[in-house]
Amino acid sequence: MLEIKSARKIFFRGQADEKIALDGLSLSLKTGDFGVVIGSNGAGKSSMLNAISGALILDTGKVQINETDVTGMPVYKRAAKLARVFQDPMKGTAASMTVAENMLLADLRSQKRRLRQGLNATRLAAYKERLELLGLGLENRLDTRVELLSGGQRQSLSLIMAVGGEPELLLLDEHTAALDPRTADIVMKATIRAVEALKLTTLMVTHNMQHAVDYGNRIIMLDAGKVRLEITGEEKEQTTVADLIGHFAVKSDRMLLAS
């Protein structure tokens, strides 16, 4: 479904602060897979997501989504295939527009925008129904501008916007990291409900080891721009938080020795 082949990206090539973000990274996800991506800061998690979404153009390597080569495709064209929720609630929504208008924007992600009325009664009713699932009361605030919502409400809205329209691939970029624990929990539960109900192929980046253990059918650990470790199937079921932290420790020991 998702295929990344030997992706390579170097920032500031030839300068003193040259940084290898992706170092021949390869990864493949099958349809319906829920991959959880972990790794320390600078391991290449965000670069990988950006390479998939198109925000980052690779130096070499290939990205395929459902057999389509999207390596050189601009962000707005890839949007027809994938949806993304960012860590920052501000990034995923248009603040000065209303809840309903934001829903409309996401609704038309994979369609051609025409010169016909945007928000009609049918759409408004559908949006109301989708927002009700969250249980945050957003369904009664369709005409509220998004900037008036709390961070948690905005992030929940981003999530509903992303899963609506059933994208072929859902990218979650530490999407609960900026929220308080209670709201983070609500958003995480809503995520899991939606992913399971719609059987979405998902890639979630997280720093929360408990989430990595609890959710998904595959753990992908990145280090220095490569996949260091993949845990799937049976093994994934039995993995504990302690095991995962152990892997991090091995890595930092090696780093100590190398230095």
List contacts with other proteins (CB under 8 A). 53, 74-77, 79-80, 83-84, 90-97, 101, 104-106, 108-111, 113-119, 145
Closer CB to other proteins, residue 10 or residue 80? 80
**Beta carbons within 8 Å of 114's beta carbon, 6+ residues apart:** none
State both tokens at 4: 């990344």
Local structure of residue 222 (DSSP, 8 states): E
Query: To the nearest whole angstrom, how small is the minimum distance from the Cβ of residue 182 to other proteins?
Result: 26
The H or E element that residue 230 is part of is: strand 226-232
In sequence order, what are the beta bridge partners of 145? 98
Token pair 């992913």: residue: 195
Closer CB to other proteins, residue 171 or residue 221? 171
Closer CB to other proteins, residue 91 or residue 207? 91
Q: DSSP secondary structure string, 152-208?
A: HHHHHHHHHHHHTT--SEEEEESTTTTS-HHHHHHHHHHHHHHHHHHT-EEEEE-S-
Contact (CB, 8 A) for 190 and 162: no
Closer CB to other proteins, residue 32 or residue 72? 72
Query: To the nearest whole angstrom, how small is the minimum distance from the Cβ of residue 213 to other proteins?
Result: 29
Query: To the nearest whole angstrom, how small is the minimum distance from the Cβ of residue 114 to other proteins?
Result: 5
Query: To the nearest whole angstrom, how small is the minimum distance from the Cβ of residue 193 to other proteins?
Result: 23
Query: To the nearest whole angstrom, how small is the minimum distance from the Cβ of residue 204 to other proteins?
Result: 17
Query: To the nearest whole angstrom, how small is the minimum distance from the Cβ of residue 108 to other proteins?
Result: 6
Closer CB to other proteins, residue 41 or residue 111? 111
User: b/e per residue, 76-95, with b = 16+ CB within 10 A?
Assistant: eebbbbbbbbbbebeebbee
Closer CB to other proteins, residue 95 or residue 125? 95
